[in-house]
Amino acid sequence: MAVSASLFINQKGTTTALKQPKEVGFYSRNQHGEIFPFDDGKLKYYYLPNNDINKAIDLNSGFKKFKNCQRDFKDVATLEPILETIIGYETSKNKSLKADIIAHGETVAKLICASFENPNVNPIDMRLASYKGQLYIKDMTLQKKVKNQIDVKGYIPYKFETVSTLTQPIAYVERDTIDKRNRKISNDGDKFCSLIRTGVGNAKILIEGDISCIYDFKQEGKDNLKHYTKLGVSPLVSNLNDSHKFENVVFKDWLRCFLTGVPRIIYGFYDDKHILKTVEEYTTEEIPILFKEHNPELASKCTNAIKWYGLMAEWLLKIVPHENESDVIKPFKLVLEDNHLKLIEIESADPEHEGLVNGEDMLSNKYKIWKTKSK
């Protein structure tokens, strides 16, 4: 009989703490979508002195030349970068990378936000596969999203990252290169990501997190989570309505950073002409405290988000069969309907079944062969 279950999104668990996130790997992706495990070639370094901020940087400049690389990617939601990095880790360490749930960090954050957001704004349409004792989750909505033409609002975060970061530490960069950053064409293909082992309650979670840049320096061969920073942008906050909008943005960024262990968020604020006016820095751990002082409702939201996360992870592990030695992939749909997360087993007659089980719509053949050999 096919497995089917649902979880009411307003339920809350009792877990309020995560296991300490730890970086176990990383990878770089280029503009062609090629993945390079344990390569930091796309890692950037933050550098934006006050003198540069005073130069009236236009965060809209270069918009028409923006390179929307992801539109040409075969599958922007693919789990392959994570799987390739797992293979690299297990090869170098000669041991398995233990985890109950494996997913992109953005996917996990989206599932958590489902308990707070309008389902029309935050539609959940995911696929889940059980394989060799582990659950893999993939967001099916991402490919549709990148096909849309990017607008100025979507472009500004890429431009801010371009003008505030360097491809190498400052000591190795010529002055001329720094001064010409504003002319550099931005793109959404180049990316550096960290693979992070964390967890909530009894669930061990392995997630990938997008890393905007290094704040200070990189320690070779070490866990660099404490050096990573998330970059964000916001219109200037000039009234109460602006303040509420910004706080909601900060909540989502806090959640992503809290899940992955990134300790710092830097925001660039721009005016109605898209000119960068000021920059502010926040630590991830101070954000709930600031919410408690200025917006208690959002402070409660931080706590409830983690409680829901714990409950949801435990629910998935309880409902989905995940035998350790099984070579059979069991696929499921995970959707949000009528205020419930619904988990529905995909049966063999479903057109999706073949691609998810015997094809590479979920797990690559290389990864399946590796896991079969390494058991």
Rounded Cα distance between 107 and 126, Å, is 9
Please check whether residue 127 is in contact with residue 140, taking contact to mean a CB–CB distance below 8 angstroms. yes
Q: Give the HSE-up count for residue 349: Cα atoms under 13 Å, Cβ half-sphere.
A: 1
Please check whether residue 64 is in contact with residue 13, taking contact to mean a CB–CB distance below 8 angstroms. no
pLDDT of 357 above 80: yes
Rounded Cα distance between 163 and 60, Å, is 12
Domain boundaries, the chain: 4-369
Using one digit for the tens of pLDDT, what is the confidence trace for 138-153? 999 887 776 677 899 9
Using one digit for the tens of pLDDT, what is the confidence trace for 293-311? 989 999 999 999 999 999 9
Amino acid at 125: D
Complete DSSP assignment for 155-177: HHHHHHHHHHEESS-GGGS-HHH
Please check whether residue 203 is in contact with residue 315, taking contact to mean a CB–CB distance below 8 angstroms. no
Using one digit for the tens of pLDDT, what is the confidence trace for 94-132? 999 999 999 999 999 999 999 888 777 788 999 999 999
Q: Sorting pLDDT into bands at 50, 70 and 90, what band is 12?
A: confident
Q: What is the mean pLDDT of residues 11-17?
A: 83
pLDDT of 325 above 70: no
Q: Sorting pLDDT into bands at 50, 70 and 90, what band is 261?
A: very high
User: Which residue, chain included where needed, has tokens 């101070």?
Assistant: 286
